[in-house]
Chain A
Amino acid sequence: MNLTLKIWRQQSANAPGKFVEYQIRDVTPEMSFLEMLDALNEDLLSKEEPPVAFEHDCREGICGSCGFLINGVAHGGQPRTTVCQLSMRFFKDGDSLILEPWRAHAFPLVRDLIVDRSAFDRIIQAGGFISVPTGSAPDANAILVPKEAADTAFDAAACIGCGACVAACPNAAAMLFTSAKITHLNSLPQGDPQRDERTLNVLVSMANEGFGSCTNHGECEAVCPKGIPLEFIGKMNRDLIRALGRRHREPLVIPAVVQEPFHEDTHEHHVT
């Protein structure tokens, strides 16, 4: 099949960006979406044009590196599928596809379809962990975890940190991502001692990074390649209320963010 691709090209965060149209021929249904882009890049290279930069690595839908919008839909719209596992058999000859990077204030553009998602790391730094100095753990079976809690924790921990939820949200909120980590750790008895502190710190960090708030659109759940459900946001909000009610320390201590703080001037990549 032959396709028309309109791809966002932008050499760096501060350079101007624009859509550039490419024709790609002889795409076969066995190819994955990224293999189709590989073929485009080989073609561009042969014409001495700069290949399209896009992030990817495992190509098995688990590392969370890949992701961009295809006709406005994060990862292209097949259920529970990252763009690296998106097969070209879902497209047809003559299709015209618009590819653009995640668009969010908190995800500054790096190049073409690549954005900087390090804000997610800083949310984890604020409290997305259980403190266990190596070697100090009790025997693994000394901690009983009800199967239901373990299953919920797993469902939440399946998040791959790709950022599709943020890209799909009209408010560019990171609520689904953040609630997944809070649900993972707060569901487990191991996570209980730091539960309230974690909830507060992580949510403050999320807000500081410039993500928006949830207004219940549910777009995040619809595009999440790992099926993280919206109900985790509700759980997180319940945990927030619990934490605020039980807070016994004043003032709230927020861990210092030590790496690459967010710069106001590096996020200018609005659609023109």
Chain B
Amino acid sequence: MLETEIVETNLERESTLIARIPSDPIEQQWDKCRFNMKLVNPANRRKHSIIIVGAGLAGAAAAATLGQQGYHVDCFSYHDTPRRAHSIAAQGGINAAKNYRNDGDSIFRLFKDTVKGGDYRAREANVYRLAQISLNIIDQCVAQGVPFAREYGGLLDNRSFGGVQVSRTFYARGQTGQQLLLGAYQALEEQIAAGTVTMHTRSELLDVVIVEGRARGLVTRHLPTGRLECHAADVIVLATGGYSNVFYLSTNAKASNCTAIWRAHRRGALFGNPCFTQIHPTCIPLSSEYQSKLTLMSESLRNDGRIWVAKEKGETRAPNDIPENERDYYLENRYPSFGNLVPRDVASRNAKEVCDEGRGVGPHGQGVYLDFADAIHRLGLETVREKYGNLFEIYQRITGEDAYQVPMRIYPAPHYTMGGLWVDYHLMSTIPGLFVSGEANFSDHGANRLGASALMQGLADGYFILPCTVPDYIASTKLDPVDTSHPAFMSVEAEVRTRIKTLVSIKGKRSPDSFHKELGKIMWDDCGMARSDAGLRKALARIPELREEFWGNLRIVGGDDELNQSLEKANRVSDFLELAELMCVDALDRSESCGGHFRVESQTPEGEAKRDDANFSYTAAWEWKGLGQAPILHKEPLTFEYVPLSQRSYK
């Protein structure tokens, strides 16, 4: 079942990967690409309709900008207002190669850090463009009134973030994502008032409609009434975020889901690197079996906090009663040069190891200490309060513990998915006319995302890339008029209706959450921080069984013609149950370790991740062949001309 067929790159457009990377020197690629694009006459733009699904950074920014340009835009969100998207929860900041600190930063350095941080599994051309555009994003956001941190002279402040050696991160206290999203949201609302964008709130995408090989519409469900609606357009953009909620417990919002990208995948969009997930090292540990989500604590805490566990397992004393010589500051001991500041994947994996050894702390043994006693001694209580006060407050609100007195407890949690729908340099998927942006695509972060890069990518895609590439597609494609009376819409709508009716009529015994929790545990245990051949095979045997039980034993109360939150949940879980299998297939196939993907079979003698560039220097793009059928692997080879391949070392 797991045998995959390798398709060479000389097949037709539909079955192979043409990344459309310009052949110019990397510094000129984006300029030349834009120069070669076709334009749409301003007077004709309103005749072209664009659908944007999702109103987070990548979606709202694109909707606002394409609306400003004069296109007829429809934007969809399942929230009550576009300001709720989960981009809002990003804390740390946004990178830009402004070099305002005069500390040696440049576009080239941001590019190199991102390629290397991604463990050489990202496409160089995309990453270089991202670094270039980072400059424009900050300009745009400042002009919109995003209240970034400032110096007393009135200039913008910066900080160093995520272990890089320059200060290139712009931030708005610990709420950078919120402020950037509000900037994009306000720009979007301005366009809504101007009539260029029509906003469809509380509307969830349930399927994509393909007409003559091109993405031409959607079927959505209006959540308060259950009404199914068809919408036609010339272009569809999916900006629907990541899929960390496949693990049930993650730092994502509760409604974050994979439905949009998964349904598009089933309609022919290849899925890139599904197994590349990021587990964030500093989250508040699980405290009860009822826990519904994990809360992230900003990574900046590792700048001053020291991570440790007891040397002996089974330690029961309170942390402050454990003498210094009985503590194991394991990151400082194992990685003397980077210490507590090793990259996210390394920090997470080490925390798991010490907990697996039975040295974990806290009520469930799934946690490590993050101790500020030394920092308070060295810097004074006031300085620590000034730097981290709001984070200590969050911690206290949730745990009831005072981290000034006792060490914090932290544990890794699923946070971000580098994988997503495969897109070319224009951010178009393998379905013509279907563009994918932000976390929903696979493109820029390789196997591990660096801190403060997600906001950058979402806004680069939304404000600057799609507003060039989508019009180019419109201008260079002959698009016959299609409306929702086309038979393709009727047949997709009928399929969606059957699926929804089936979900409500199973009338079994188990709730959607109970299936989601069980799936999450399978994924966390066998496709989480450490992955093994045996574990992945076990998960691959278990997931289809669970899926079968889901379709036979699900219970939803209430109908499909009313606001029904269990039905919404069940529908999302049904897609996670399919995506999870593809993640395991991909993780099993990629027998190297790279970035956040750690295969226990592929490690150095010191237990570090070992890449296998000879065999795995490619993007895996999977083609759907039907439920229960083995997906087909397509490979986009990756070449590194500007950032030479090297093995990461943080010793």
Indicate whether A153 sits within 8 Å of B147 (C-beta atoms), given known contacts A129-B189, A140-B139: yes
Please report the C-alpha to C-alpha distance between residue A51 and residue B81 in the assembled complex, in whole angstroms: 23
Which of B65, B152, B172 is A134 in contact with, Cβ under 8 Å? Answer: B65
Please report the C-alpha to C-alpha distance between residue A258 and residue B192 in the assembled complex, in whole angstroms: 7
Please report the C-alpha to C-alpha distance between residue A33 and residue B160 in the assembled complex, in whole angstroms: 36
Query: In angstroms, how far is the closest chain B Cβ from the Cβ of A228?
Result: 14
Contacts of A44 in B (CB 8 A): 557
**Contact, CB under 8 Å: A143 / B142:** yes
CB interface residues, B 20-73, toward A, < 8 Å: 61, 64-65, 68
Contacts of A129 in B (CB 8 A): 144, 186-187, 189-190
CB interface residues, A 36-71, toward B, < 8 Å: 36, 38-39, 41-42, 44-46, 48-51, 53, 55-60, 62-65
Contacts of A165 in B (CB 8 A): none
Contacts of B467 in A (CB 8 A): 134
Please report the C-alpha to C-alpha distance between residue A140 and residue B96 in the assembled complex, in whole angstroms: 11
B153 located at the interface, meaning its Cβ lies under 8 Å from any Cβ of chain A in the complex: yes
1/0 per position for A151-168, CB-CB distance to B under 8 A? Answer: 101100110110000000
Main secondary structure of the interface of A (DSSP, over half): loop
Please report the C-alpha to C-alpha distance between residue A145 and residue B141 in the assembled complex, in whole angstroms: 14
Which of A46, A139, A191 is B139 in contact with, Cβ under 8 Å? Answer: A139
A15: nearest chain-B partner, CB-CB: B562
Indicate whether A135 sits within 8 Å of B136 (C-beta atoms), given known contacts A62-B88, A114-B563: yes
**Contact, CB under 8 Å: B80 / A55:** yes
Please report the C-alpha to C-alpha distance between residue A129 and residue B187 in the assembled complex, in whole angstroms: 6
Please report the C-alpha to C-alpha distance between residue A64 and residue B253 in the assembled complex, in whole angstroms: 12
Which of A130, A158, A191, A259 is B175 in contact with, Cβ under 8 Å? Answer: A158
Please report the C-alpha to C-alpha distance between residue A147 and residue B147 in the assembled complex, in whole angstroms: 10
B643 located at the interface, meaning its Cβ lies under 8 Å from any Cβ of chain A in the complex: no
1/0 per position for B370-409, CB-CB distance to A under 8 A? Answer: 0000000000000000000000001001101000000000
Which of B65, B83, B296, B513 is A38 in contact with, Cβ under 8 Å? Answer: B513
Contacts of A141 in B (CB 8 A): 98, 100, 155-156
Indicate whether A190 sits within 8 Å of B143 (C-beta atoms), given known contacts A118-B201, A161-B81: yes
**Contact, CB under 8 Å: A57 / B81:** no
Contacts of B189 in A (CB 8 A): 121, 124-125, 128-129
**Contact, CB under 8 Å: B151 / A147:** yes
Which of A35, A133, A144, A160 is B290 in contact with, Cβ under 8 Å? Answer: A35
19 A-B residue contacts at CB 8 Å?
A44-B557, A45-B555, A50-B558, A64-B84, A121-B189, A121-B199, A134-B61, A134-B65, A134-B140, A136-B143, A137-B144, A140-B138, A144-B154, A154-B147, A157-B147, A188-B145, A190-B144, A258-B195, A259-B198
**Contact, CB under 8 Å: A161 / B145:** no
A81 located at the interface, meaning its Cβ lies under 8 Å from any Cβ of chain B in the complex: yes
Query: In angstroms, how far is the closest chain A Cβ from the Cβ of B249?
Result: 11
The 9 closest A-B CB pairs, nearest first, are A144-B154, A137-B143, A129-B186, A125-B193, A154-B147, A137-B139, A30-B288, A153-B147, A134-B65
Please report the C-alpha to C-alpha distance between residue A97 and residue B136 in the assembled complex, in whole angstroms: 51
Query: In angstroms, how far is the closest chain A Cβ from the Cβ of B228?
Result: 18
**Contact, CB under 8 Å: A59 / B293:** yes
**Contact, CB under 8 Å: B290 / A39:** yes
User: What would 10 more interface pairs be, CB under 8 Å, given A31-B290, A53-B563, A141-B98?
Assistant: A12-B224, A29-B400, A30-B291, A65-B84, A87-B400, A89-B400, A132-B143, A134-B65, A154-B179, A158-B178
**Contact, CB under 8 Å: B156 / A140:** yes
A28: nearest chain-B partner, CB-CB: B288
Please report the C-alpha to C-alpha distance between residue A258 and residue B155 in the assembled complex, in whole angstroms: 38
Interface range, B side: 35 or more
B179: nearest chain-A partner, CB-CB: A157
A214 located at the interface, meaning its Cβ lies under 8 Å from any Cβ of chain B in the complex: no
**Contact, CB under 8 Å: B155 / A31:** no
Contacts of B511 in A (CB 8 A): 42, 45-46
A32 located at the interface, meaning its Cβ lies under 8 Å from any Cβ of chain B in the complex: yes
A11 located at the interface, meaning its Cβ lies under 8 Å from any Cβ of chain B in the complex: yes
Query: In angstroms, how far is the closest chain A Cβ from the Cβ of B56?
Result: 11
B254 located at the interface, meaning its Cβ lies under 8 Å from any Cβ of chain A in the complex: yes
**Contact, CB under 8 Å: A12 / B563:** yes
Which of A46, A85, A158 is B397 in contact with, Cβ under 8 Å? Answer: A85
A240 located at the interface, meaning its Cβ lies under 8 Å from any Cβ of chain B in the complex: no
A255 located at the interface, meaning its Cβ lies under 8 Å from any Cβ of chain B in the complex: yes
1/0 per position for B180-192, CB-CB distance to A under 8 A? Answer: 0010011101101
1/0 per position for A104-136, CB-CB distance to B under 8 A? Answer: 000000110010111011001110111111111
How many chain A residues touch the partner (CB < 8 A)?
85
Indicate whether A35 sits within 8 Å of B148 (C-beta atoms), given known contacts A60-B89, A129-B187: no
B150 located at the interface, meaning its Cβ lies under 8 Å from any Cβ of chain A in the complex: yes
Please report the C-alpha to C-alpha distance between residue A130 and residue B64 in the assembled complex, in whole angstroms: 13
Contacts of B143 in A (CB 8 A): 130, 132, 136-138, 143, 190
Query: In angstroms, how far is the closest chain A Cβ from the Cβ of B466?
Result: 11
Query: In angstroms, how far is the closest chain B Cβ from the Cβ of A158?
Result: 7
**Contact, CB under 8 Å: A45 / B151:** no
Query: In angstroms, how far is the closest chain A Cβ from the Cβ of B363?
Result: 8
Please report the C-alpha to C-alpha distance between residue A117 and residue B471 in the assembled complex, in whole angstroms: 34
Contacts of B145 in A (CB 8 A): 130, 153, 184-185, 188, 190-191
B600 located at the interface, meaning its Cβ lies under 8 Å from any Cβ of chain A in the complex: no
Query: In angstroms, how far is the closest chain B Cβ from the Cβ of A38?
Result: 6
- For A110, A151, A157, the residue with the greatest tally of chain B CB atoms inside 10 Å of its CB is A157
Contacts of A63 in B (CB 8 A): 84-86, 88-89, 253
A146 located at the interface, meaning its Cβ lies under 8 Å from any Cβ of chain B in the complex: yes
Contacts of B84 in A (CB 8 A): 57-58, 63-65
A271 located at the interface, meaning its Cβ lies under 8 Å from any Cβ of chain B in the complex: no
Which of A35, A55, A111, A147 is B150 in contact with, Cβ under 8 Å? Answer: A147
B590 located at the interface, meaning its Cβ lies under 8 Å from any Cβ of chain A in the complex: no
**Contact, CB under 8 Å: B86 / A50:** no
- For A36, A62, A131, A145, the residue with the greatest tally of chain B CB atoms inside 10 Å of its CB is A62
